[in-house]
């Protein structure tokens, strides 16, 4: 049991940059208006990502001999995941420069699948790795929403509209998640 907890904790803290940075994009696009709604929004996003990650895990096991097919499978998984997030009432409308919100979730979901498949060994521990990755995404989502709400309230203006604040918060969060390994 302790081994499982250790693996979960290790994977939770040592998820790489791609998960954090692409979750950042999701945070930007969903805009996390209030902490209260962020709990639900986070669940919708994490749920769709869980679908794509599990689906990629299963398909990569059965289609292991046809590696060239995998990018197409990941892409289709991502499209379904984006559709699921949209059904949850998120990713509506346009973002900037003619880009639709729904498009911005695509690389996030794709990168999660690539990241997961790089780590798995096709045994029971894989589920712990997937669960840890999804927990990390959910926690970052909630943490940034909480910080955003607090900072916006204190400053009495929408400080998070300044992208630098978001980068700073994400730098801090990814430092925490990497366990300050660089020190």
Partner 1 sequence: MNSNLSLVNKISLLGLFALLAGTGNGILFALIFTLTLSFTALIIKFIYLTYESFFSQKTGKIILWALGFAISYFLYNLLPPIFGSQAVHFNYYFILIGVTPLVYAELNNKSFSNFIINHVLFLDLMLAVSLLRELLGEGSILNYQLFSKTPLSIASEAPGAFLIVGIVAFIYEIIIKKLNLENKLKKEADIELESEVKA
Chain residues in the site for partner 1 (CB under 8 A): 16-18, 20-22, 24-25, 28-29, 31, 71, 75, 79, 95-100, 103-104, 106-107, 110-111, 114-115, 118, 161, 163-164, 167-168, 170-172, 174-175, 177-178, 181-183
Nearer to partner 1, 24 or 44 (CB): 24
Nearer to partner 1, 127 or 176 (CB): 176
Burial label for 146, CB within 10 Å (0-12, 13-18, 19+), is middle
Q: Which of 103, 128, 101, 141 is nearest to 19 (CA)?
A: 141
| Cα–Cα distance measured from residue 74 to residue 79, given in angstroms and rounded to the nearest whole number | 9
- Whether 79 and 73 have beta carbons less than 8 Å apart is answered as no
Nearer to partner 1, 8 or 95 (CB): 95
Q: Which H helix or E strand runs over 139?
A: helix 125-155
Nearer to partner 1, 6 or 75 (CB): 75
């Amino acid at each position: 049991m302790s081994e499982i907890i250790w693996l979960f904790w290790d994977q939770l803290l040592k998820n790489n940059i791609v998960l954090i940075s692409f979750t950042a994009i999701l945070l930007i696009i969903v805009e996390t208006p209030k902490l209260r709604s962020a709990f639900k929004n986070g669940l919708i996003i994490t749920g769709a990502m869980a679908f794509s990650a599990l689906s990629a895990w299963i398909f990569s096991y059965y289609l292991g001999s046809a590696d060239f097919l995998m990018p197409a499978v990941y892409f289709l998984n991502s499209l379904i995941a984006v559709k699921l997030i949209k059904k949850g009432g998120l990713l509506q409308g346009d973002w900037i420069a003619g880009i639709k919100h729904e498009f911005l979730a695509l690389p996030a979901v794709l990168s999660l699948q690539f990241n997961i498949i790089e780590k798995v060994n096709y045994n029971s521990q894989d589920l712990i790795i997937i669960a840890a990755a999804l927990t990390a995404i959910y926690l970052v989502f909630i943490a940034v929403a909480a910080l955003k709400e607090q900072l916006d309230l204190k400053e009495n203006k929408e400080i998070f509209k300044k992208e630098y604040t978001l980068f700073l918060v994400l730098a801090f969060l990814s430092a925490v998640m990497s366990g300050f390994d660089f020190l």
